[in-house]
Each structure stands twice: as structure tokens, then as C-alpha cells.
Amino acid sequence: MLNIAVFASGNGSNLEVLLNTQFNQGKIALVLSNNPSAYALQRAKNHNIAHICINKKEVGEKFESEILKAMQKHHIDCIVLAGFMLILSADFISHFPNKIINIHPSLIPAFCGDGFYGMRVHEAVLEYGAKVSGASVHFVNEIVDGGKIIAQEAINLSEDETPQSLQTKVAQVEHRILPQAVQFLIDSILTKEQHETLH
């Protein structure tokens, strides 16, 4: 059974879907937020799941070492970034190679990278006049939103689309593809471990 940590900075609707999903050989063992008022922390509480807030504004340079300590304490095997609005360093990522995934509210490689997060993404999509958007789940590497894509689904934009209506549509897609991607992550880690044991 793999222990999964979910990192979330705000509402946590994606977290909620994960907390309501039964995974094969994996379980959500910890919810971590950088934001003390993130509703995601309340969701973890409601589900009786361990949760922790590490506020970068308070801990400063120690932010990632504090996160690492929490990962060790809870024996975390892999990490899901579900609305986590801070960028993790290459050094942090190297502790979890191919074991961190992220959900992004656009069709990567469009409207992604540094500065594209949350509602800003949907505003940019509409400003550009794009006719489709969607959601992507990808492995996290040292390039922001640059790792290999695991799952992706497109949606058509309507003539009268607003950033809010687009956000709602994208969220529906996210809630469908994220649990599938998390199961894929679990399977890929276990398959690799099995392979390494045999050789």
C-alpha cells in the first residue's frame, strides 16, 4: 500500500474527489497546504486524514526541508499536486523522481508554465480566443508544467464563455481524470519496484 500526500493551496475540490476515491494499493495519508486558510485542510479534517500547514511566509528558507520532514514522518511514497500554487525546486523534486504528479487547468503545452495558474489560465485562454481548452495531469520535473503528460481531456468553448464558466467546465474534467492519473501513478511506481526486485 503506497502512502500518497496531496498538496493543495485553496478550495481543494480535486482533493475532495481523491478523498472519496478508493485506490488500489494506495491511500491518501497526508494533506499538506502552504495556506493556513485553505479549505483543503478542512476537507482533510472532515475525512479524518492527517493534515499539515507549512506556511512559507513563516518558515522562509526552511519551507522545503520542513515539507521533506513531513514526508518522512508520514512515510510518503508519492505526491499529488492538486491546486498547489507554489513551485517546488529541482532539489525537492529529486527526492521523488517520477513520483510527483500535478493537475493543470489547460491543455499543456498551451497556457502553462510560470505565472499560469488558477483563474489566470482561463482568462488567458479567453483573451487568446482559443476555441478549446481542457485539463492535463503530468509528471513533475524541474521544468514548470514540463513533465510527461499522463492524462488530458479537451472541452469546447462556447461563444459566451467566461473565465468562471470555463473554470466550472474544466473542474468537471479534472475531477474525472485526476483519480485515474493517481491510480496510474500508483501502478507505475509498484511496477517499477517489482521490476527492480526481480533484477
Q: Does 14 bind ligand GAR (CB under 6 A)?
A: yes
Using CB under 6 A, pick the residue from 4, 7, 12, 18 that binds ligand GAR: 12
Residue nearest to ligand GAR (CB): 83
How many of the chain's residues bind ligand GAR (CB under 6 A)? 16
Could you give the string, one character per residue 93-112, with x where binding to ligand GAR holds by CB under 6 A and - elsewhere? Answer: ----------xxx-------
Q: How far is CA 22 from the centre of its chain?
A: 18
DSSP state of 159: T
Measured distance CA(140)–CA(155) in Å, rounded: 24
Q: How far apart are CA 176 and CA 74, in angstroms?
A: 27
The alpha carbon dihedral of 29, 34, 35, 38 has a sign of negative
Q: Give yes or no: 74 in active site.
A: no
Among residues 2, 8, 177, 186, the one that binds ligand GAR under rule CB under 6 A:
8
Cβ atoms within 10 Å of 174's Cβ, excluding its own: 26
- Minimum CB–partner distance for residue 28 and ligand GAR (Å): 14
C-alpha cell at 191: 511496477
Consecutive H or E run containing 189: helix 163-198
Check residue 163 for interaction with ligand GAR (CB under 6 A): no
Tell me: does residue 118 bind ligand GAR (CB under 6 A).
Answer: yes
Binding of residue 10 to ligand GAR (CB under 6 A): yes
**Minimum distance between the CB of residue 14 and ligand GAR, rounded to whole angstroms?**
3
Looking at the Cβ atoms of 26 and 134, the one nearer to ligand GAR is 134
Give Cβ neighbours of residue 34 (< 8 Å, ≥ 6 apart): 7, 9, 53, 54, 55, 56, 63, 84, 85, 86
Q: What is the spatial distance between Cα 155 and Cα 129, in angstroms, rounded to a whole number?
A: 14
The single residue among 41, 54, 82, 124 that binds ligand GAR, judged by CB under 6 A, is 82
Amino acid at 151: A
* Residue 146 near ligand GAR by CB under 6 A: no
The CA distance from 56 to 9, in Å, is 12
Residues lying near ligand GAR in the complex (CB under 6 A) are found at 8, 10-14, 82-83, 103-105, 117-118, 121, 171, 174
Active site residues: 104
